[in-house]
Structure 1
Amino acid sequence: MRITIIAGARPNFMKIAPIIDAIINKKQQGHDITYQLVHTGQHYDKNLSGTFFEELNIPFPDANLEVKSGTQSEQTAAIMIGFEKYLEESPCDLVVVVGDVTSTMACAIVAKKAGVDVAHIEAGIRSGDMNMPEEINRIVTDSLTDYFFTTSTYANENLKKVGVSDDKIFFTGNVMIDTLLKNESRLVKPPVWNALKLEAKKYMVMTLHRPSNVDEEHQLKGLITQLVDLGKDFPIVFPVHPRTKKLLEGLNLNFDNLHFIEPLGYLHFNYLVKNAFAVLTDSGGITEETTVMNVPCITLRDSTERPETCEIGTNVLVGSDSDKIKEAFSVLLSGNWKKGSIPKLWDGHAAERIVDAIADIYNL
């Protein structure tokens, strides 16, 4: 059996690494299973993609579609054209897509039109916010998927509500946590640690990239100004996404405790997260990592596709509501942040369960 694995953006790389390891292990046990890795090139900045292959020991891709930047439609079209050609030249039995980025949706469409089965890892998550491009990607991908691998019971229920049968849903856990647990002992202190004289649990990490937060200059400036003011007693380290960097230019956000830095690789970034007093973010994936590492997380979004990080973990949603942000900081700075726990099956073995299920499905 030949599997084609799709990766295109930073969150994908963390998710495919344990899948590849599990496939290799399965093959070594005598099962007829091989894989090919396709990098769409959706993220092309070295710190957003290149370093992940090195740090997480991911084999060099069999193909890079080199799509790079563009509008949502331009990227989708370019990925579909490139992947269709690749699939014609290198046929397979199953296409595995992960997460909810543009590459996930585009390659799922191409695979189904080519008559190839699709497996979606991280299927069924929903925010309910159709203004998020990722939500559209999730819905379209899951409408085409043959086998659904989920991270939570919430995702299972979302799929059942739209008519997915139980025999197509596999609750296997969270592959991104596989990667985190495997590499936690390898996390590396980034150069910025000494440059800014950081101390464990005495600084915050900020990430912002959602269009709802960064597309409008006045909104972005007001949000950052409030966060920096409320966290004035802490250095705030802000690795800036290339998309956000363009928007920040000219806003004159000069604060003594706010430090803009270049994007970091996986081992450097998660070292910062693990040792932070708190994380301020609009990312979904980071809320999963903070939950496992027991780091307080304030999420600057009105909705989340990962409700378990709020109901079970260390995450709180505040959106861009000034009062909710103040309230969250009040709890945080008083030392009364909730004590989270780790969701079921976030144990480092999700990828093994996924590959075992695939082997059973195809009688390998």
Structure 2
Amino acid sequence: MKVVTIVGARPQFIKAAAVSRAFNNLNSKKSLAEVIIHTGQHYDHNMSEVFFKELGIPQPDYNLHVGSGSHAQQTADMLKGIEEVLRKEQPDWVLVYGDTNSTIAGALAASKMHIPIAHVEAGLRSYNRRMPEEINRVLTDHVSTLLFCPTKTAVTNLEREGITEGVKNVGDVMYDCMQYYRARLETSSVLPFGVQRKGFALATVHRAENTDSPQSLRQIFDSFKEISKQIPVLVALHPRTRKFIENYNIDISDSIKILEPLPYLQMIELEHNAKVILTDSGGVQKEALFVETPCITLREETEWVETVEIGANVLCGANKSRILDAYYRVIDGDFKVDWSSNIYGDGKASDKIVELLVGDHSS
């Protein structure tokens, strides 16, 4: 059986590491071949190559080097490149992850060629159609043959849209990753800028709804500036966000410490040691839960609703007063969380995905 895996962005590299490892584990018993296409959506060394090395992901068989561009241009270039590879490889499955342009490009190319699609992280919904990610995930789900859901909520979301065939609640592959790499965390290592364990805030900002709005980005960094008067704020700065900060001439306080995008292990180590996390990233919201660090989400909605329901995450949008209110709740200890909730599976989602792919192919 041959599977073409399509990745292109940081979160997909992390998820693919877990599933590729499951492919390798089963390959001793079955004749499996995984062909990896890297679209080049994330191409900066710190956003791409470092993850392949650090997480032990096999080097891509194909790199399309698409790079940045408008959604239409980027997706079109991916479609063309992916179609050429699929025509050459003739796989039994195309495996896509999450909700990026790489996801929808892979799904569209495969569907036009009548190749079955398996979607990892299916069924997520923010119900905000202004988000490009929401369009990508909805359309991908509707052309997929196997839909690997991370939660019961995701299964319910698909049922509402009439999708019931091929839906499997396997758990979250990012939880698999966290379980696998947790033992490698160097909790005694020196943290950047001399910050102390549980004595700093960690932040990431990259979504278009925040970066494309000067008002929103200023509100967010003004809140970081206020928080930094009490504890250091470390911002792992996405290259795209850095560009907008410069374009909008947003002043960043010296007490806000800027980091380059971080490798996975260093990022989860900082998440584990932070007092609080502020982010608009879906993946970081979950990682915050996994390492039991309170999360303040810089969005008005989230596809990871379970993190909010159990009290581990609070939605604040790009509103300075709401962000600061949530921060003070954390500092005052008024952030009650049921950290024991096992909402993302048993850490074996990747094994289940590979077994289901093999089983469906052989049936």
Contact 1:189 1:272 in 2 (8 A): no
* Structure 1 residue aligned with 2:8: 8
Taking structure 1 as reference, are residues 58 and 313 closer, same or farther at Cα in structure 2, changes over 3 Å only? farther
Partners of 1:82 and 1:34 lie apart in 2 by 20
1:47 matched to 2:46: yes
* Structure 2 residue aligned with 1:56: 55
* Structure 2 residue aligned with 1:181: 179
Question: Please, which moves more after superposition, 295-304 or 310-319?
Answer: 310-319
Task: State the one-letter code of the partner of 2:182.
Answer: E
Give the TM-score, by structure 2 length.
Answer: 0.95
Find the partner of 2:224 among 203, 220, 227: 227
1:295 matched to 2:285: no
1:81 matched to 2:54: no
1:136 matched to 2:135: yes
Partners of 1:174 and 1:309 lie apart in 2 by 13
Give how far 1:248 is off.
Answer: 1.3
Partners of 2:216 and 2:11 lie apart in 1 by 26
Contact 1:9 1:48 in 2 (8 A): yes
Give how far 1:347 is off.
Answer: 2.7
Taking structure 1 as reference, are residues 252 and 157 closer, same or farther at Cα in structure 2, changes over 3 Å only? closer
* Structure 1 residue aligned with 2:349: 350
* Structure 2 residue aligned with 1:27: 27
Summarize deviations over 1:49-86 as a string: whole Å, max 9, x none. 11000110001111111111111011000000000111
Taking structure 1 as reference, are residues 271 and 141 closer, same or farther at Cα in structure 2, changes over 3 Å only? same
- Partner of 1:249, secondary structure, is helix
Partners of 1:140 and 1:37 lie apart in 2 by 22
Taking structure 1 as reference, are residues 45 and 263 closer, same or farther at Cα in structure 2, changes over 3 Å only? same
Task: Give 1:69-218 correspondences, 5 Å limit.
Answer: 69-165=68-164, 167-188=165-186, 193-194=191-192, 196-218=193-215
Contact 1:97 1:108 in 2 (8 A): yes
Partners of 1:191 and 1:228 lie apart in 2 by 27
Give how far 1:363 is off.
Answer: 2.3
Contact 2:224 2:256 in 1 (8 A): no
Contact 2:36 2:62 in 1 (8 A): yes
- Partner of 2:85, secondary structure, is helix
Find the partner of 2:233 among 223, 232, 236: 236
Give how far 1:313 is off.
Answer: 5.5
Give how far 1:191 is off.
Answer: 9.5
Partners of 1:257 and 1:358 lie apart in 2 by 50
Give how far 1:199 is off.
Answer: 0.6
Contact 1:240 1:263 in 2 (8 A): yes
Contact 1:43 1:68 in 2 (8 A): yes
Give how far 1:268 is off.
Answer: 1.2
Partners of 2:188 and 2:217 lie apart in 1 by 27
Summarize deviations over 1:147-192 as a string: whole Å, max 9, x none. 1000011100011111112x41110000011111111122357998
Question: Please, which moves more after superposition, 31-40 or 100-109?
Answer: 31-40
Contact 1:38 1:64 in 2 (8 A): yes
Question: Please, which moves more after superposition, 280-289 or 242-251?
Answer: 242-251
Taking structure 1 as reference, are residues 177 and 187 closer, same or farther at Cα in structure 2, changes over 3 Å only? same
Partners of 2:288 and 2:143 lie apart in 1 by 31
Give how far 1:290 is off.
Answer: 0.6
Partners of 2:177 and 2:54 lie apart in 1 by 11
- Partner of 2:362, secondary structure, is coil
Give how far 1:276 is off.
Answer: 0.2
* Structure 1 residue aligned with 2:303: 305
Give how far 1:343 is off.
Answer: 3.3
Taking structure 1 as reference, are residues 256 and 192 closer, same or farther at Cα in structure 2, changes over 3 Å only? farther
Contact 1:203 1:277 in 2 (8 A): yes
Task: State the one-letter code of the partner of 1:185.
Answer: A
Give the TM-score, by structure 1 length.
Answer: 0.95
Give how far 1:327 is off.
Answer: 2.4
Q: CA RMSD in A?
A: 1.7
Partners of 1:213 and 1:287 lie apart in 2 by 16
4+ long deviations beyond 6 Å: 189-192
Give how far 1:116 is off.
Answer: 0.3
Task: State the one-letter code of the partner of 1:77.
Answer: A
Task: List gaps (5 residues or longer) in structure 2.
Answer: none
Partners of 2:234 and 2:288 lie apart in 1 by 16
Contact 1:3 1:34 in 2 (8 A): yes
- Partner of 2:314, secondary structure, is strand
Query: Identity over aligned residues, as a percent?
Result: 37
